[in-house]
Structure 1
Amino acid sequence: MAPRMLAIYGKGGMGKSFFTSNLTSRLTFDGNRVLQLGCDPKHDSCNTVFGGYSLPTLGEQWRIFKEQGREDQLSVGDVIFRSELKPGSVLYGCELGGPEVGRGCGGQGISSGFKTLEGLGLSKWNLDYVVMDFLGDVVCGGFATPLARSLAEQVIIVVGHDRQSLYAANNIAKAAAYFREMGGTTSVLGLIVNRDDGSDTADKYADAVGLPILARIPLSRRVRELADACRLALEDEQFNTIFGDLAKRIAGNEIPPCHDYKALEYHEFLQVFGAEEPEGRPNSASSDELFSGTAAAKKGIPMLSLTPSVIPQVATTDPVQLKVKQVMESIGLYVTDLSRTDRDGVTVTSGAVEIRIGNIDDIDSKAAFLSALRRSGQTFSYVDLREMDAPSYR
């Protein structure tokens, strides 16, 4: 039987990894086989349940194998790790990871990671639960993968009593409802109020949107110190009871999914906090105001050309290489050498930069990535676009 898939969402910094780690541990202690899947490029979801270890990420491992030309040899043991929380209670962990900081799209890394796990047989593994720890940026398609592809059966949203976390929760709820209307099957179970200080703002939002509060996790200095030391909050009796009760309700299917909630529009959301959106639109700034009468205002803004004035000619009669050459030159890249092999496809050399193009079926997407990379101003000497789900450069 396929494992039950749960996705934990919420604004960054709200304690999703804290919540996920204690929930997965409690489920494990109750006799379940659980995989905790970190789905955030900063890859720190599993640190606590692995006693402080920072797990090698799937993205890192895949890139290592790919650079060695043996990505097809990547195995379960390279990306899935085990932690014996206590004798007889083993929790499995995986961090999808992402590109290096500032060097790629985190959402694409998440999408690619799921594709790799599916290729390794994720849906057939002997697990009771896969609990995915996601950041709340569902605007990005990669981070909305569990919703868009119905990979998650149910979603739990971690919030606080602050406006920012509830705004993120509203976006997540809106995304879940949208994908369900499009034929998806993922449903929302409800909200977790983390670091509950006794306020009632989250309650007001929950009432307005029609989502239940599943549990309240109190603000506790002792538990914060446990978490900072990569130790479970379950060591505290009160927190063990909270997570134990929630795990029991989840395992017993005692929490009905919410299908009739309604995410709030912006003006409705502000009303939860006693605020009103002003009428009309804000005042516009003018060019004169920003340029303050400088010469730049009179000259206008110069347009940058991506096409060099002189394009070195590379002799080739291969139609595939010719097409790549034309596309590269159209985005302003000097093509100083071209090669093509059965294994790696097309490789472009532009001065001191080597660009692995690979297959040219999606050459337009690859050209768009290269164009954006050039405009970013970053320096690089190697770009690998053979897998557009996980482009890399250095």
Structure 2
Amino acid sequence: MTAIRTLGAVAAVSISALALAGCVAKADVAASDALTVTSTDAACDVSTATATSGTLSFDVTNESSEVSEFYLLADDGLRIVGEVENIAPGASRTLTVVAQPGDYFTLCKPGMVGEGVGRAAFSVTGDTVEATGDDAEQKQQAVDLYAAFVKDQVEQLVPAVDEFVAAYESGDDETARDLFAPTRAFYERIEPVAESLGDLDPRIDYREVDAVAEGLDWTGFHRIEKDLWVPAEDGLNADGSSAWTDWQPSTDAERAAFGDQLIADVAELNDYVHSDDFQQALDAQGIAGISNGAIGLLDEVATGKISGEEDWWSGTDLWDFAANVEGSKMAFSLVQDFATAQGDDGAALVTDIEQGYTDLEAALAEHGSLADGFVNYGELTDDDKREFTDLINALAEPLSQLTSTILE
């Protein structure tokens, strides 16, 4: 099964504390800053696994056969503290970050797809460093880190979809079923990005009832899902209609067409998030776009996952639920300092939001995890569903105030 970086217990590390590349003069770099990184096809060798807090520079040399990237990840393994990309074979580039005391991970990604290689623990000791730089720089850094997060998730989605589709097209349904939910997690963390691209999200992720209602060809994950979990003869669609109305299990040729279409659509998404158009769109939205993304992902949970209608045939809605929450919390973490900076009311709002995520994650953990799997949605009781609904509502109320607060 494709491995997934899970959020786990996210430490409350703010964007200004994590990394403000370029906001501290080179002369102020910490004494322990003499860090070199060698990226190869199979390894990511960092000259030391420890450093002293302050401004750190990682001089990255790419000795792999492909264009590579280097990441410094926060202790949850999901949030990106800093990254440098598009390092050509034989070339070198430098990543400079302000690193606070704490635990991190280093990682290289030759080919700029997949999970990367050489993931290793990296620790920073010493005193807390007060980051410098003006408000505009910090806001742009938040935008840049969100862009890096989105690109990383899509880069992992590409090979995961390749593996999933290969199993589906070959008729290895057992393997494809195992891969369905973990593959989708990469997409669910950044779904609002795809939703902004016209018909791309409908092609990738529309449910049957949505496609029929809008008169669209039904393709993507959920078209394949129904082939993998063939409904009973008396089975019903989410809208109460017969599951077999205008539907039959796909032929081998149809499987090949649906699988190849999903690969092509995900490749289009990958091209977009690595384009100037994507960066320009994020720059135009600024931190409000990140905040609205956090809100939008929680809305995805409230409108689809909590009802059990998203993954109607597989019952894997809790996987999507958890990934949406992860993506939402990651986006929130990038802008929470801007809310706190608005005074006592902003700080109180951040506290309420953090508690909301904590409570929701604890409830999810009672039913499994992205790392180990969740129970089938059909196993949830009405009380379980009511608890989730109450927790989502409790988080949604303060989260809905986030964008207006950070823009005050």
TM-score, normalization by structure 2:
0.24
Q: Higher strand share goes to which structure?
A: 1
Tell me which protein shows more helix as a share of its residues: 2
Q: Which has the larger radius of gyration?
A: 1
**TM-score (structure 1 length as normaliser):** 0.24
